[in-house]
């Protein structure tokens, strides 16, 4: 849709139109290419609905004139800000998801899509989280701020009138606080997703007797096994076995 005609399209119901693939935008960073591939593989292998996975690549967005801000010292990935272009990249229509590349899916994405409620502008896991580490991944500075990690996996109601503010202009000029804390929204416009869909490795805990604590998507927020320093982190085995499956299939594709 175009904003210039002054019309705002009505929201398409509940993430879907079963015939249209569910759009999932994944933050892409060239340093974490393998993490992206494994994340994508984990979604596609378990999904019972059609999904379209689109990496958010900063270099492409710059070429298309959608992204022009200079990299700040607190941006630990290339998608720190570009993630907020998700509604724009989905043409401000229907629901779409953004997720960091450092996620491993263990469940069917349909279960997550089925949680979508059109009364919200966005939905996410609302962590109450203060990291212990002062550095993350490969030494990038870890910053502490309210609503930390909420923006790492977000279901966007792209047609919601409030989200029309997320133009390239806004995304390129607004502060990290405005964007990452969703300051364009009122609290009751932000829907709640169970924490197991953004299960923070090193922070959230499984309670064996309580299946509602079993992760559906693990977020290796401190850094995952694709970094030497994190190759023995919690749930490293799950990520590594997904990687093996991905590599095997990728190799087969090349051979055929």
Contact set with Mn ion (CB under 5 A): 100, 102, 152, 221
Cβ 26 vs Cβ 53: under 8 Å? yes
Minimum distance of Mn ion from residue 242's CB (angstroms): 16
Rg of the chain over Cα atoms, rounded to whole angstroms, equals 18
Minimum distance of Mn ion from residue 235's CB (angstroms): 14
Minimum distance of Mn ion from residue 77's CB (angstroms): 7
Minimum distance of Mn ion from residue 256's CB (angstroms): 34
Tell me the C-alpha distance between 90 and 176, whole Å: 22
Between residues 152 and 164, which has the closer beta carbon with respect to Mn ion? 152
Between residues 27 and 168, which has the closer beta carbon with respect to Mn ion? 27
Between residues 100 and 242, which has the closer beta carbon with respect to Mn ion? 100
Tell me the C-alpha distance between 53 and 51, whole Å: 6
Tell me the C-alpha distance between 223 and 139, whole Å: 10
The number of angstroms, rounded, from the C-alpha of 140 to the middle of its chain's C-alpha atoms is: 19
Minimum distance of Mn ion from residue 20's CB (angstroms): 27
Residue of this chain nearest to Mn ion (CB atom): 100
CB burial readout 11-37, b (16+ within 10 A) else e: bbebbbeeeeebbbbbbbbeebebbbb
Between residues 37 and 164, which has the closer beta carbon with respect to Mn ion? 37
Between residues 152 and 174, which has the closer beta carbon with respect to Mn ion? 152
């Amino acid at each position: 849709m175009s904003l210039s005609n002054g019309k705002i399209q009505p929201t398409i119901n509940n993430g879907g139109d079963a015939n249209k693939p569910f759009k999932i935008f994944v933050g892409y960073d060239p340093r974490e290419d393998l993490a992206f591939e494994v994340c994508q593989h984990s979604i596609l292998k378990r999904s019972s609905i059609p999904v379209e996975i689109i990496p958010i690549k900063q270099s492409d967005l710059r070429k298309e004139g959608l992204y022009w801000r200079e990299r700040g010292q607190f941006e630990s990935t290339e998608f720190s800000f570009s993630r907020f272009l998700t509604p724009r990249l989905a043409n401000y229509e229907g629901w779409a998801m953004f997720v960091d590349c450092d996620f491993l899916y263990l469940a069917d994405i349909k279960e997550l899509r089925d949680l979508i409620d059109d009364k919200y502008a966005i939905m996410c896991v609302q962590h109450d989280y203060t990291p212990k580490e002062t550095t993350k991944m490969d030494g990038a500075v870890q910053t502490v701020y309210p609503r930390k990690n909420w923006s790492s996996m977000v279901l966007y109601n792209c047609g919601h009138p409030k989200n029309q503010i997320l133009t390239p202009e806004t995304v390129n000029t607004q502060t990290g606080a405005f964007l990452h804390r969703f300051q364009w929204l009122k609290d009751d416009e932000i829907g709640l997703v169970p924490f197991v869909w953004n299960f923070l490795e090193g922070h959230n805990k499984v309670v064996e007797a309580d299946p509602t604590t079993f992760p559906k998507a693990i977020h290796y927020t401190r850094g995952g096994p694709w970094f030497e320093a994190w190759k023995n982190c919690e749930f490293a085995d799950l990520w590594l076995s997904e990687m093996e499956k991905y590599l095997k299939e990728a190799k087969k594709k090349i051979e055929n």
